[in-house]
């Protein structure tokens, strides 16, 4: 639900829908980027990637709202094995400005899903793609009630009592890349990142899904037309109307919560942190996504608490934590997928 099922195309084909993005230092001198797609993989959709999907991590290095470096992943046809499993080949492509699109760039690694790939590129590049447990954790029922109550003019943090993690025991498919810091920018550089999934094959490239910050389309841009527009445009194209929507949502929530002295000023300052929607990160530093500070995103960061607290101007706890046992200390950092995910027969 960070961005699960938030566009019409992603609902029709979940392989094209971004769930979450993570950006952190897995080991000193390296940047780890991870993108999860395909919610309920293996149940509502196959545990594969779309053959005409282009999965891209984008980095704005100089603050001009445009990417200077992109890391792209493109998958081949699905191979069906005798044991009933599936595998795909894939390529990892690095592209640099100006304005790379499609498959432009240099192939730096290639491999097959389900296997860790290592290649040399200004150091060691590692890649993994395949099924994984969904690390997003959230009190979905509580959020739905809390949002409904806000719409009715009531501030009800008690909506998060009796928490239940809707995402427990569910799988996704994940792309994890670990690259030398210098393959993006020098260590210590403050970058802004986002991720996209596009259809690119028999027709010109069409962006289907975009992720810049967690929960943007489930807390701030909740109307279907706004979600669709958010997913289809570039951060540089985010309009004043997006800023107004986010500002209005924050001002409304903080006014009801009564914890901010000047809701209008607070709403304006926080909205400008969220729009355009991109994830800030200082390269080669510990990641932490917190209410007062966005610096990448670690696998166990509680982003729902952070975003709800930012919305309301007061501390909100949704009662759910990421299941740390589903993470690994070593690459690819995501643990084994659930053998019998929720909904599987």
Q: Provide the pLDDT for residue 98.
A: 59
Residue 60 is assigned to a structural domain of this protein = yes
Is it the case that residue 7 has pLDDT exceeding 70? Answer: no
The DSSP-derived string for 57-104 is: EEEESSSSSS-SEEEEEEEEEEEEPTTS-EEEEEEEEEEESS---TT-
Q: Provide the pLDDT for residue 277.
A: 97
Who contacts 148 (Cβ-Cβ below 8 Å, separation ≥6)? none
pLDDT bin (cut points 50, 70, 90) of residue 319 is: very high
Q: Provide the pLDDT for residue 102.
A: 85
39 to each of 24, 25, 76, 170, 265, how far by Cα in Å?
A: 22, 25, 21, 8, 37
SS3 content of the chain, % helix, strand, coil (to 5): 25, 30, 45
Six-digit token pair at 93? 């492509």
Domain residues for the domain of 293 are: 8-326
Six-digit token pair at 11? 């609902």
| Tens digit of each residue's pLDDT (9 = 90 or more) over 326-343 | 999 999 999 999 998 886
Six-digit token pair at 10? 């992603």
pLDDT bin (cut points 50, 70, 90) of residue 6 is: low
Residue 189 is assigned to a structural domain of this protein = yes
Alpha-carbon distance of 93 to 40, in angstroms, equals: 27
pLDDT bin (cut points 50, 70, 90) of residue 51 is: very high
Alpha-carbon distance of 128 to 112, in angstroms, equals: 8
> How far is residue 288 CA from its own chain's centroid?
14
Alpha-carbon distance of 182 to 120, in angstroms, equals: 13
| Tens digit of each residue's pLDDT (9 = 90 or more) over 76-96 | 999 888 777 789 999 999 999
Average pLDDT of every residue of the chain: 93
Residue 244 is assigned to a structural domain of this protein = yes
Cα-atom radius of gyration of the chain, to the nearest Å?
A: 19
Residue 107 near residue 72, CB atoms below 8 Å: no
Residue 139 is assigned to a structural domain of this protein = yes
| Tens digit of each residue's pLDDT (9 = 90 or more) over 193-214 | 999 999 998 778 899 999 999 9
Residue 102 near residue 54, CB atoms below 8 Å: yes
Six-digit token pair at 220? 């701030």
In the chain, the number of structural domains is 1
Of 117 and 2, which is predicted with more confidence?
117
Residue 255 is assigned to a structural domain of this protein = yes
When pLDDT is averaged across residues 295-301 and rounded to a whole number, the result is: 98
pLDDT bin (cut points 50, 70, 90) of residue 273 is: very high
- If 0-12 CB within 10 Å is exposed, 13-18 middle and 19+ buried, where does residue 99 land? exposed
When pLDDT is averaged across residues 213-231 and rounded to a whole number, the result is: 93
When pLDDT is averaged across residues 24-44 and rounded to a whole number, the result is: 94
Nearest 10 degrees: CA dihedral of 220, 225, 227, 232?
A: -140
Residue 341 is assigned to a structural domain of this protein = no
pLDDT bin (cut points 50, 70, 90) of residue 281 is: very high
pLDDT bin (cut points 50, 70, 90) of residue 270 is: very high
When pLDDT is averaged across residues 158-172 and rounded to a whole number, the result is: 95
Residue 344 is assigned to a structural domain of this protein = no
Residue 183 is assigned to a structural domain of this protein = yes
Alpha-carbon distance of 142 to 149, in angstroms, equals: 10
| Tens digit of each residue's pLDDT (9 = 90 or more) over 96-146 | 975 557 889 999 999 999 999 999 998 899 999 999 999 999 999 999 999
Alpha-carbon distance of 233 to 299, in angstroms, equals: 26
Is it the case that residue 295 has pLDDT exceeding 70? Answer: yes
Alpha-carbon distance of 192 to 116, in angstroms, equals: 27
pLDDT bin (cut points 50, 70, 90) of residue 344 is: low
Q: Provide the pLDDT for residue 46.
A: 85
Angular region, 231: left φ>0, alpha ψ -120 to 50, beta rest: alpha
pLDDT bin (cut points 50, 70, 90) of residue 153 is: very high
């Amino acid at each position: 639900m960070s961005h699960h099922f938030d566009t019409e195309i992603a609902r029709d084909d979940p392989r094209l829908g971004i769930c979450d993005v993570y950006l952190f230092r897995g080991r000193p001198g390296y940047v780890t980027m991870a993108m999860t797609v395909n919610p309920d993989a293996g149940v509502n959709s196959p545990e594969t990637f779309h053959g005409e999907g282009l999965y891209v991590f984008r980095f704005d290095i100089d603050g001009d709202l445009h990417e200077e470096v992109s890391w792209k992943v493109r998958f081949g046809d699905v191979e069906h094995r005798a044991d009933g499993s599936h595998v795909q080949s894939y390529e990892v492509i690095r592209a640099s400005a100006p304005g790379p699109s499609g498959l432009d760039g240099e192939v730096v690694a290639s491999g097959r899903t389900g296997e860790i790939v290592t290649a040399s590129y200004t150091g060691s590049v590692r890649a993994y793609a395949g099924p994984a447990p969904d690390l997003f954790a959230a009190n979905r029922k509580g959020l739905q009630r809390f949002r409904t109550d806000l719409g009715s003019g009531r501030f009800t943090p008690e909506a998060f009592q009796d928490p239940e993690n809707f995402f427990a025991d569910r799988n996704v498919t994940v792309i994890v890349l670990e690259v030398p810091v210098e393959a993006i920018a020098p260590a210590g550089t403050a970058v802004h990142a986002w991720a996209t999934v596009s259809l690119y094959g028999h027709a010109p490239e069409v962006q289907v899904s975009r992720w810049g910050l967690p929960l943007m389309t489930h807390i701030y841009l909740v109307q279907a037309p706004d979600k669709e527009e958010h997913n289809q445009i570039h951060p540089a194209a985010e309009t004043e109307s997006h800023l107004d929507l986010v500002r209005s949502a924050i001002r409304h929530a903080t006014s009801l919560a009564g914890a901010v002295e000047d809701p209008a000023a607070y709403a304006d300052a926080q909205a400008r942190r969220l729009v355009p929607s991109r994830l800030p990160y200082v390269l080669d530093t510990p990641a932490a996504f917190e209410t007062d500070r966005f610096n990448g995103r670690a696998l166990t960061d509680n982003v729902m608490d952070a975003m709800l607290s930012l919305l309301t101007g007061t501390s909100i706890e949704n009662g759910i934590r990421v299941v740390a046992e589903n993470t690994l200390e070593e690459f690819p950092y995501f643990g084994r997928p659930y053998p019998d995910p929720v909904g599987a027969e």
